Structure 1
């Protein structure tokens, strides 16, 4: 239901940090003033936002594992956000649809990319509730967590230091999470074991993969 992925290179991490150090941040509620659960800051300068969003989106799309897990068809421009002491984001589920300048995106998956080290702040874990499970993430720099947008999740209060991350939302070509995960597992097996199979059986497996994606996937 979720996937932890290495996303950013050292150079990309450094670029994001330079942007965060020099560009202005504003109250995160500027985009949703009625959201009382949201207590953070987000990047505000249009030029810095465009530069960082392009860098972060390219890093996601470059990742074959991300593409295989998410089946992305639309990705919202990633937004850098930061949390200082006492800031948090209370339990919430992400909006089903997000209006972007050029399109409306259905949020099937949410993604948090960690830009500074977990040792740089105390508290601030991403807390996700998956059924009866309760999982917390403070990932190493450059890693990302991709998880279903319809889950209740929160950012716990930062008690010391500063938490710097980027967030984005993905519309998947395969909306149903059960089908999406089944396809991911099938593709993983094909990638790991396909060359060990008899050629005729591997061809049949590839046919099944493509037929399921053709049947379950949205139009390109």
Structure 2
């Protein structure tokens, strides 16, 4: 249901931190004034937002692991959010549709990119509830977690230090999570075992991969 991947280089992490340190943040509810669960801050200055967003989009674009897992059609411009002591984001699911420069985007997958190492702040774990399971994530700087947007999740209160992350939302070419995960697993098997197959069977597997993507996939 989720995937953790190394997304940013040390240079990119440092640049995101530099932008965050020199640009103004505003109340995170500026994008949703009625959301009482949201107690954080987000980058709002247009030039700083544009610069950090482009940096992060380039990182997503070059990540083969991200493309293989998410089958992305559209990626919302990522934005930096900040949590200081006392800040949190209560349990919620992400909006089904979001406005973006490409038009309306359906949020199939949500993504959090961590920019501060976990030792630099206390609290602030991403808590995802999946059935009876409670999953907690507090990753290293530069690591990202991708998970379904319709899962209940929260950011636990920060009690010390600062939690700096980037957030984005992805519309997948494969909307159905069962089909998306199945096709991802099939592609992984083909990549790992393809060279051990006969040429005929490998060609047949490639045919199956292409046919499933053709019938399940959506055009941009």
Task: Give TM-score, length-normalised by structure 2.
Answer: 0.99
What is the CA distance between 1:210 and its match in structure 2? 0.5
Alpha-carbon deviation of 1:60?
A: 1.1
Alpha-carbon offset, residue 219 of structure 1: 1.3
Q: Secondary structure at the match of 2:34?
A: coil
Deviations 1:78-113 (A, max 9, x none): 010000000000000000000124410000000000
Aligned to 2:81: 81
Distance 1:192 1:80 in 2: 36
Task: Give 1:25-174 correspondences, 5 Å limit.
Answer: 25-174=25-174
Residue aligned with 1:65, SS: helix
Structure 1: gaps of 5 or more residues: none
Q: Distance in 2 between matches of 1:104 and 1:120?
A: 36
Q: CA deviation at 1:56?
A: 0.5
Give the CA deviation at 1:196: 1.1
Please give the secondary structure, in 1, of the residue aligned with 2:219: coil
1:203 CA displacement: 0.4
The structure 1 segments of at least 4 consecutive aligned residues displaced by more than 4 Å after TM superposition are: none
CA distance in 1, matches of 2:102, 2:11: 30
* SS of the residue 1:188 aligns to: helix
Matches within 5 A, 1:206-217: 206-217=206-217
Give SS of 2:66's match. helix
Cα RMSD for the two superposed structures: 0.6
1:175 aligned counterpart, secondary structure: coil
Q: Distance in 1 between matches of 2:213 and 2:101?
A: 29
Q: TM-score, normalised by structure 1?
A: 0.99
CA distance, structure 2, for counterparts of residue 23 and residue 102 of structure 1: 26
Deviations 1:124-160 (A, max 9, x none): 0000011211100000110000000000000000000
Tell me the residue number matched to 2:20.
Answer: 20
Aligned residue-pair number? 220
5+ residue gaps, structure 2, are none
